[in-house]
């Protein structure tokens, strides 16, 4: 017994180190699975408020360009609205809408890590929940991962764990959108069969298979493509429309039918 | 004098975390280099102190950085590793001198200070990027990131340490 105590006392620093290392490795390895750890995310109250304060100071510097972007987008939407046939009033009944849109602002952004997360200043009190889609006026940004009462973290499309249904705009062939953690302005589209004709510059948009994003939200254009190892599918490099380094205003999109879709899919699976 | 030391370390802790998270994590030099200047905390921390407390403190330091930058516990793992290895690195760099009671970082030669800082940074970055990328098939990518980020961190840390130099007494 004496010897055991002596041993512990002698190597107490090493034991402490190993203990702390196991804790941190535990948290790290846990994060390699689908969902981010609930302890380590910047949607928490403390982290959110630190970033909110810093955002409050720095946001003034690019107000002019942000305003210009928003006016451009308004113009686009006005054109759509004015060219719409018939009355638009009857369509604004919220019980009839398939998608509800909320706005938010990015208070923390990163794009240099293999797993990037973005923090926005909207949370549960604005009815933001996990697995809602986040888009900007130029294209998709990511999926809500964790929420607190006033903040939420977004799993960026620049994240190794990200996997989003996407399709070619003109042929409707769909595949999954992933990221290989190399450059922040390119993502990869895989699982498009080799029979599909591709042209550099083709537009990639979100597919209709996911219950997170609406169909036909812009993603990017084909920059380069070649066959994968098995020679039966294309590996496509997609240049993003979004400038991932400079994002401020975002929209959070939620599908009002998502619950029903998920429930139905679960039921179908369990009947197999 | 002792309480003064505590206050200085607490202030250093908070300032380094804020500077790291609000300034250096957003630098993205060449698109991917984010220097980690908070390692200076381990460089500046008094030498003759309780080692277990020091490791605990570094755990907290890494945890606060991770908490604010959505990196899971990678910073924590890297920081406690260099906290644990610090006495070994010091013995390697400063030789027996460091065992003496009146040894101070300010008394060491420039080359020794530089070597000490460089070793801390390289070990930290090795652990950090290995865990971050988490696959040995990307060994070249890990080495590239370690090399480029270490260089940047080292330059910035040297600038900082000469800016806020510990007075020679």
For residue B137, the distance in angstroms to the closest alpha carbon of chain A comes to 13
Is the confidence at residue A212, as pLDDT, over 70? yes
Cα–Cα distance measured from residue A236 to residue A166, given in angstroms and rounded to the nearest whole number = 12
Average pLDDT of the residues in A99-128: 87
The residue of chain A nearest to residue B133, with distances taken between CA atoms, is: A114
List, as ranges, residues 20-39 from B with C-beta within 8 Å of A: 21-22, 25-26, 28, 31-34
CB atoms within 10 A of CB B52: 13
Scored b (16 or more CB within 10 A) or e, A99-138 reads eeebebebbbbbbbbbbbbbbbbbbeebebeebbbbbbbb
Confidence category of residue B169, pLDDT binned at 50, 70, 90? very low
- CA distance readout (Å), A131 to A35, B115, B118: 10, 48, 43
Q: Is the Cβ pair B31, A32 closer than 8 Å?
A: no
- What per-residue confidence (pLDDT) applies to B8? 85
- What per-residue confidence (pLDDT) applies to A145? 87
3-class DSSP state of A239: strand
Cα–Cα distance measured from residue B146 to residue A67, given in angstroms and rounded to the nearest whole number = 39
For chain B, what is the largest distance between any 2 Cα atoms, rounded to a whole number of angstroms? 51
| A41 interfaces chain B, CB cutoff of 8 Å | yes
- What per-residue confidence (pLDDT) applies to A149? 86
For residue B73, the distance in angstroms to the closest alpha carbon of chain A comes to 5
Cα–Cα distance measured from residue A258 to residue A255, given in angstroms and rounded to the nearest whole number = 5
Q: Which of B31, B33, B74 sits opposite A28 (nearest CB)?
A: B74
Cα–Cα distance measured from residue B97 to residue A124, given in angstroms and rounded to the nearest whole number = 58
Structural domains of chain A in order of their starting residue, each with its CATH number:
45-160+245-257 (2.40.10.340), 164-240 (2.40.10.350)
Q: Is the Cβ pair B77, A54 closer than 8 Å?
A: no
Question: Which residue has 């942000």 as its token pair?
Answer: A66
Percent of chain A with pLDDT strictly greater than 90: 2
Structure tokens at A116: 């990037």
Phi, psi of A60 (to 5 degrees): -70, -25
For residue A53, the distance in angstroms to the closest alpha carbon of chain B comes to 10
Q: Is the Cβ pair B70, A17 closer than 8 Å?
A: no
- CA distance readout (Å), A211 to A1, A126, A182, A258, B169: 61, 20, 28, 6, 67
Q: Between A and B, how many CB-CB pairs are < 8 A?
A: 97
- What per-residue confidence (pLDDT) applies to B66? 85
Query: How confident is the model over B148-161, as pLDDT tens digits?
Result: 999 999 999 888 88
| B85 interfaces chain A, CB cutoff of 8 Å | no
Scored b (16 or more CB within 10 A) or e, A30-62 reads bbeeeebbeebbbbbeebbebbbebbeeeeeee
Contact list, B32 vs chain A (CB under 8 Å)? 112
Q: Judge contact between A143 and A258, C-beta under 8 A.
A: no
How much is the mean pLDDT over chain B? 83
Contact list, B52 vs chain A (CB under 8 Å)? 12-13, 16
- Residues paired with residue A102 on neighbouring β-strands, in sequence order: A252
Query: How confident is the model over B75-132, as pLDDT tens digits?
Result: 899 999 999 988 888 888 887 777 676 777 777 788 888 888 899 999 999 988 888 8
Contact list, A119 vs chain B (CB under 8 Å)? 70
| A44 interfaces chain B, CB cutoff of 8 Å | yes
| B74 interfaces chain A, CB cutoff of 8 Å | yes
List, as ranges, residues 107-126 from A with C-beta within 8 Å of B: 108-117, 119
How much is the mean pLDDT over chain A? 83
How many H-runs (helices) and E-runs (strands) does chain A carry? 5, 12
Beta strands A233-240 and A152-159: pairing type? unpaired
How would you class B22 by CB atoms within 10 Å of its CB: exposed for 0-12, middle for 13-18, buried for 19 or more?
middle
For residue B134, the distance in angstroms to the closest alpha carbon of chain A comes to 9
Percent of chain B with pLDDT strictly greater than 70: 91
Q: Which residues contact A184 (CB under 8 A, 6 or more apart)?
A: A111, A112, A158, A244, A245, B31
Query: How confident is the model over A226-245, as pLDDT tens digits?
Result: 888 888 888 889 999 888 88
- What per-residue confidence (pLDDT) applies to B121? 92
Q: Is the Cβ pair A112, B72 closer than 8 Å?
A: no
- Residues paired with residue A155 on neighbouring β-strands, in sequence order: A117, A143
| ipTM of this predicted structure | 0.77
Mutate to test the interface with B, among A40, A151, A162 (most CBs of B within 10 A): A40
- What per-residue confidence (pLDDT) applies to B42? 87
């Amino acid at each position: 017994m004496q010897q055991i105590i002596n041993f512990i006392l002698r190597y107490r620093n090493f034991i402490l180190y190993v203990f702390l290392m196991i804790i941190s490795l535990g948290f790290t390895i846990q994060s390699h699975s689908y969902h981010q750890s609930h302890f380590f995310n910047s949607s928490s109250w403390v982290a959110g408020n630190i970033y909110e304060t810093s955002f409050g100071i720095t946001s003034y510097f690019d107000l002019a360009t942000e305003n210009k972007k928003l006016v451009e987008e308004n113009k686009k939407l006005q054109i759509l609205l004015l060219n719409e046939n018939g009355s638009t009033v009857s369509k604004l009944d919220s019980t009839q809408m398939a998608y509800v849109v909320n706005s938010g602002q990015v208070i923390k952004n990163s794009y240099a890590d293999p797993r990037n997360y973005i923090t926005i200043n909207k949370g549960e009190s604005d009815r933001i929940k996990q697995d809602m889609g986040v888009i900007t006026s130029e294209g998709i940004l990511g999926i809500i991962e964790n929420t607190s009462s006033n903040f939420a973290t977004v799993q960026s499309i620049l994240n190794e764990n990200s996997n989003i249904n996407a399709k070619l705009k003109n042929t409707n062939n769909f595949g999954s959108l992933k990221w290989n953690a190399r450059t922040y302005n390119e993502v990869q589209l895989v699982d498009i069969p080799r029979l599909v004709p591709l042209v550099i510059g083709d537009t990639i948009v979100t597919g209709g298979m996911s219950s997170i994003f609406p169909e036909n939200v812009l993603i990017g254009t084909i920059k380069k493509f070649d066959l994968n190892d098995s020679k039966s599918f294309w590996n496509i490099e997609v240049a993003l429309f979004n400038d991932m380094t400079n994002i401020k205003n975002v929209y959070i999109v939620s599908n009002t039918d998502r619950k029903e879709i998920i429930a139905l899919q679960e039921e179908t699976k369990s009947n197999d | 004098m002792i309480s003064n030391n505590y206050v200085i370390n607490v202030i250093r802790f908070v300032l380094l975390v804020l500077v790291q998270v609000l300034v250096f994590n957003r630098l993205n030099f060449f698109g991917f280099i984010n220097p980690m200047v908070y390692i200076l905390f381990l460089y500046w921390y008094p030498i003759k102190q309780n080692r277990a407390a020091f490791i605990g403190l570094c755990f907290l330091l890494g945890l606060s950085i991770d908490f604010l930058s959505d990196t899971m516990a990678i910073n924590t793992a890297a920081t406690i590793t260099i906290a644990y290895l610090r006495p070994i690195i010091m013995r390697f760099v400063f030789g027996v001198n460091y065992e003496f009671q009146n040894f101070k970082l300010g008394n060491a030669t420039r080359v020794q200070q530089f070597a000490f800082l460089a070793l801390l940074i390289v070990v930290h970055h090795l652990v950090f990027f290995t865990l971050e990328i988490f696959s040995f098939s990307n060994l070249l990518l890990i080495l590239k990131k370690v090399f480029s980020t270490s260089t940047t961190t080292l330059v910035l840390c040297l600038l900082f340490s000469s800016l806020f130099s510990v007075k020679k007494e």
